Structure formats: C-alpha cells, structure tokens
Amino acid sequence: MDTTTRRRVDALLRNACARVAREDAELLLTFVLGKPRSWLFAHDDAELDASQAARFETLLARRVQGEPVAYLVGSRGFWTFDLAVTPDTLIPRPETERLVEAALSRLPADTPLRIADLGTGSGAIALALASECPQSMVVATDASEAALAVARGNADAARVANIRFRVGDWYGPLREDRFDLIASNPPYIAGDDEHLQRGDLRFEPVQALTPGGDGLSAIRVLAAGAPRHLLPGGWLLLEHGHDQGDAVRTLLVSAGLVDVATLQDLEHRDRVTLGRWRP
Ligand code: GLN
C-alpha cells in the first residue's frame, strides 16, 4: 500500500465489505478512528491517514482469519454498556438480554433485593441487573479469576457499585446465602456439537461454552442447588440451547421449583427457562 496516500472511508469500507460482513468492517474502522459506529452515517467522505489505514488493514486480515470482532476491538455492546471483553470471557450475545428482561419483569421495583449471577464472565448479566436495580445487591461469581478481573473492570468503568465478585464454581461461592433471584448463562453446548469448531466460538473460552457431554451438566448443578439458595418465592433463570427447553424444564420441576416455564428469544427459539422456589 502507498504509505503517503490518505484513504477515504467510503472506499475503504467498500473494499472491506467484499471480505467481511459490513457490520464487522464498520466496527473495526470506527475502532481505529476512535469514533462511535453512528459517526459513519455522516462521515463517509472522511479520510484515514496511512497509519490508521494500515491498522485497519491488519485488523481486517485478522478478522478474515476468523478472530471475533469483539476480541479485536476489545469490547461488545450489551444492555446499556460497552463491555470490555477478552479471550478469557465469552462474548455477550443479544439473546442473553432476553434473560435480563425476564429477570427484571419478575423483580419488584424499588425494593432492596438479593440477586446472584453465576458464571458472570464479562459481568454482562450482573451489570445489567445491578444498574437497573440500584437498591439491590448482586453477587457475581466465576470459576475464572481472569474473567472476574474483566467483570470487575467493567463494573468500575460503568460506576456500578452494587456488585460483589466471588471466585468459584456455581453455588460454591454463595456459601449458605439465599437470594431473591439467581440468574446464569452457563456453558450448555454439547461436547460434540460441531458449532464449537465454527465462527467466533473457536476463539472463546471452551469452559464458558460447553461442560462436555450432553451440555446439561452445569444446568443440572444449577437446578439441583436452587432450593438451598433461593429465598421463598425466589426465581431461578437459566439460559440454554434452543433444543434444551424440555430437558431444562424437567430438571427444574425435579428440583422442586414451581411456575416453571420456557421463554423464547427474538428468533422464536427456546432460550430461557425459569422457575421459583415455594417451600
Ligand atoms: N449462546 C452461545 C452460543 O450458542 C453459547 C453460550 C453458552 O454456552 N452459554 O453461541
């Protein structure tokens, strides 16, 4: 590439879109420029200098090799946040916002509640619930210290102070505590699912994607332990795979939860199953 020529945004994007999805090209380009993606609407005649154009080309080449855009730019939008993400954390997905909405619609407003997010990763669910329920206290756990460091950084950056982070597996860090609502997006992909070998999933932490086997072992632990960690009337909400709704409802009912139901994501696939504890 000629290192002295300035490059116009529209020409760069046109070329890039032949190699990657338009959304990806726009996210990488505006990352290089330090602008929000909305800036592009009015600035397609803007110019990049040679070093910006070279940085863009490097990121584009890595994207073409499969690296997730969220890891290349170090962040992903979720709820009202721009969350830092690293290869130590799952990349937050829009379907998990469905779980957040379902949780919020079951929490009485303006009441101090106790909430837990188990396997918080980048902190997505915990930050969303803590920010929407400022009087409540959220406990966010993860087995990965590296993931918790990312989640803590996200809470600090967003000035969300009503979260406590604890390291450990599932209910382990909760000790004897009980909660009004426990949410989790656990690993749920079956160990032999070919999707693990495709797309962004190849680059994400495997322990956040799959517990191995039939994909349900983490959900079995979460269902079985719920009665010991929910307050009377408290809710358990679990994200799961589109073909796991029947199995997860059965696990929640077997654990003794009531009002068990499955909610669908925006693409009308089973995605979140919930139930409550009535001793
Ligand atoms: N929803 C993710 C996917 O199917 C998986 C996340 C998870 O296992 N919790 O790509």
Q: Which of 93, 214, 242, 264 to mutate to test the pocket of ligand 1 (most atoms within 8 A of CB)?
A: 93
**What is the rounded average pLDDT of the residues 78-103?**
97
Residues 11-20: contacts with CB under 8 Å, at least 24 apart = 12/48, 12/53, 12/56, 13/40, 13/44, 16/56, 16/60, 19/60, 19/63, 19/64, 20/60, 20/63, 20/64
Core vs surface per residue 188-207: b (16+ CB within 10 A) or e: bbbeeeeebeeeebeebbee
How many A from CA of 113 to the centre of ligand 1? 28
Distance CA 219, CA 79 (A): 24
Core vs surface per residue 96-113: b (16+ CB within 10 A) or e: bbbbbebbeebbeeeeeb
Confidence of residue 268 (pLDDT cuts 50, 70, 90): very high
pTM, whole model, 2 decimals? 0.95
Report whether residue 185 contacts ligand 1, using a CB cutoff of 6 Å: yes
- Taking only the tens place, the pLDDT of each residue in 186-225 is 999 999 999 999 999 999 999 999 999 999 999 999 999 9
Domains for the chain: give ranges and CATH numbers: 3-65 (1.10.8.10), 87-276 (3.40.50.150)
Distance CA 189, CA 196 (A): 8
How many A from CA of 210 to the centre of ligand 1? 8
Report whether residue 173 contacts ligand 1, using a CB cutoff of 6 Å: no
Record the tokens describing residue 229, joined without a space.
């960690």
Whether the pLDDT of residue 227 is over 70: the answer is yes
Residue pointed to by tokens 């909405």? 101
The single-letter code of the amino acid at 78 is F
The single-letter code of the amino acid at 177 is D
Q: Which pLDDT score, from 0 to 100, does residue 7 have?
A: 87
Whether the pLDDT of residue 2 is over 70: the answer is no
Report whether residue 189 contacts ligand 1, using a CB cutoff of 6 Å: yes
**What is the rounded average pLDDT of the residues 236-265?**
98
